[in-house]
Amino acid sequence: MTPFPSRSHWRGKMLACFIAVALIGSNAWSAQAEVYPDRTIKIVSPHPAGVATDVLGRAIAPVLQQNFGQPVVLENRPGANGIVAEGAVARSTPDGYTILITSGAHIANAFVAKELPFEVIKDFAPVTELAASYGLALVTNLPVNSVAELVDLAKQKAGELTYATNGVGNITHVAGLLFEKRTGTRMVAVPYNTPNLTTDVMTGQVGMAFYSTAAATPLVTAGKLKALAVTGSRRSPSLPNIRTLQELGYADFDVTGYFGLLFPAMTQQDRIERVYAESRKALEAPEVRMVIEAAGMYPVGSTPAEFAKFLEEDFTYQARLMRELGLSTK
- Of the chain, the percentage scoring pLDDT greater than 70 comes to 89
Residue 289: per-residue pLDDT = 94
**What mean pLDDT is predicted for residues 107-126?**
93
The model's pLDDT over 206-227, given as tens digits with 9 standing for 90+, comes to 999 998 877 788 899 999 999 9
* Lowest model confidence (mean pLDDT) among 34-38, 101-105, 194-198: 194-198
- Give dist(CA 32, CA 24) in Å, integer: 12
Residues 6 or more apart whose Cβ sits within 8 Å of residue 255: 135, 136, 171, 174, 175, 178, 210, 231, 232
Which residue ranges form the domains of the chain, and what is each CATH number?
41-133+257-324 (3.40.190.150), 136-230 (3.40.190.10)
The pLDDT-based confidence of 27 (bands split at 50, 70, 90) is very low
The model's pLDDT over 221-257, given as tens digits with 9 standing for 90+, comes to 999 999 999 999 889 888 899 999 999 999 989 898 8
Question: Do residues 91 and 116 make contact, with C-beta atoms less than 8 angstroms apart?
Answer: no
Question: Do residues 155 and 122 make contact, with C-beta atoms less than 8 angstroms apart?
Answer: no
With 90 as the cut, is the pLDDT of residue 17 above it?
Answer: no
- Give dist(CA 146, CA 141) in Å, integer: 12
**What mean pLDDT is predicted for residues 104-129?**
93
- Give dist(CA 231, CA 162) in Å, integer: 18
Residue 203: per-residue pLDDT = 92
- Give dist(CA 76, CA 115) in Å, integer: 23
The model's pLDDT over 255-314, given as tens digits with 9 standing for 90+, comes to 988 999 999 999 999 999 999 999 999 999 999 999 988 777 899 999 999 999 999 999
With 80 as the cut, is the pLDDT of residue 169 above it?
Answer: no
The model's pLDDT over 28-63, given as tens digits with 9 standing for 90+, comes to 444 445 689 999 999 999 988 888 899 999 999 999
- Give dist(CA 11, CA 129) in Å, integer: 58
- Give dist(CA 276, CA 307) in Å, integer: 11
pTM of the model: 0.77
Residue 161: per-residue pLDDT = 97
Residue 114: per-residue pLDDT = 86
With 80 as the cut, is the pLDDT of residue 9 above it?
Answer: no
